[in-house]
Amino acid sequence: MGYLLYLRTMKLKDPLKEKRIKDATIRIVYTAGLSAVKMSIVAKDVKISPSNLYIYFKNKEDLLLSTFFYTAKNIIERYVSTTINDTIYKQRLFGLYNYMITSKIDDADQYSFLQQFVRSPFFKAEHSKQMDIVGKSIFDVLKDGQENKMLKEDIHIDIMLAMLYGTTNKLADFHNKERLVVTQKTIIKSFDMVWSAIKHVQ
C-alpha cells in the first residue's frame, strides 16, 4: 500500500512546477531573507495550494535543502562550462575572473541564497562538498599557474583565492547595490591589479 502511494505521489510531481517552487524560494530569500521562507508564502508565490506544495516537499527544511542542491548544481554547471582553456595563461585566468564577476551580477539571487543557506543551521558538514566543487575549479587554475611558474610560488594559494573571491564578490556587490557600475573596462582594470599582485616576476 505504501509503495502504491509512493508511485501516485511521483506521478503527481511536475518537474516544471518543482523548478518554479525552487525559483520562488530563491526569490523570496533574495528579497526578504531565509527566515521569510514559509510553506504558505512559497505556495502563494507559485499560485498553488499549500497541500499541493507538500506533495513536493515535506517541510521547510526539505524545501531549502533541495533548493540548495538545485542552486549549487546550476552554478557548478556554469563554472564547468565556462571557457577557461585558453593556451595563454593570463587570458585563461581572466576568463575565470570575468565569469566570477558577471555571474555574481547576473545571478545575484542564486548567490545570495547560497550565502544565506551556508550560514544557516540547515547547512551541515556533509553539504560542504557541493561548494568545494566550485572552489576546486578556481583552485586548479591557480595551482596550474604556480606549477608552470606563471604565478608567484611564495604566495599561498588560499591567499590568492581570498584575493579573487574578495575582489569579485565586492565588485558584484557594489554593482548590485548601484554603488558602482561594473563595465568590462572596470573588470579589466581590476583584473590587472590582481594580476600584478600574483604574477610570477622573472
pLDDT digits (tens, 9 = 90+) for 149-201: 999 999 999 999 999 999 999 999 999 999 999 999 999 999 999 999 999 98
Asked whether residue 98 carries a pLDDT value surpassing 50, the answer given is yes
**Which pLDDT score is estimated for 186?**
97
Asked whether residue 102 carries a pLDDT value surpassing 90, the answer given is yes
Asked whether residue 82 carries a pLDDT value surpassing 70, the answer given is no
More confident position, 185 or 78: 185
CB 38 within 8 A of CB 44: no
CB 95 within 8 A of CB 84: yes
Q: What is the DSSP string of 112-165?
A: HHHHHHHTSTT--GGGHHHHHHHHHHHHHHHHHHHHTTSB-SSS-HHHHHHHHH
Domain count, the chain: 1
Q: Rounded mean pLDDT of 5-18?
A: 68
Q: CA dist 67 to 61, 72, 86, 123, Å?
A: 10, 8, 33, 12
Domain span including residue 149:
2-198
Asked whether residue 6 carries a pLDDT value surpassing 60, the answer given is no
pLDDT in tens, 103-152: 999 999 999 999 999 999 999 888 887 777 767 878 888 999 999 999 99
Task: For CA atoms 27, 32, 34, 40, give the dihedral sign.
Answer: negative
**Which pLDDT score is estimated for 1?**
44
pLDDT in tens, 48-74: 999 999 999 999 999 999 999 999 888
Asked whether residue 77 carries a pLDDT value surpassing 90, the answer given is no
Q: What is the CATH number of the domain that holds 102?
A: 1.10.357.10
Q: How confident is the model at residue 29 (pLDDT cuts 50, 70, 90)?
A: very high
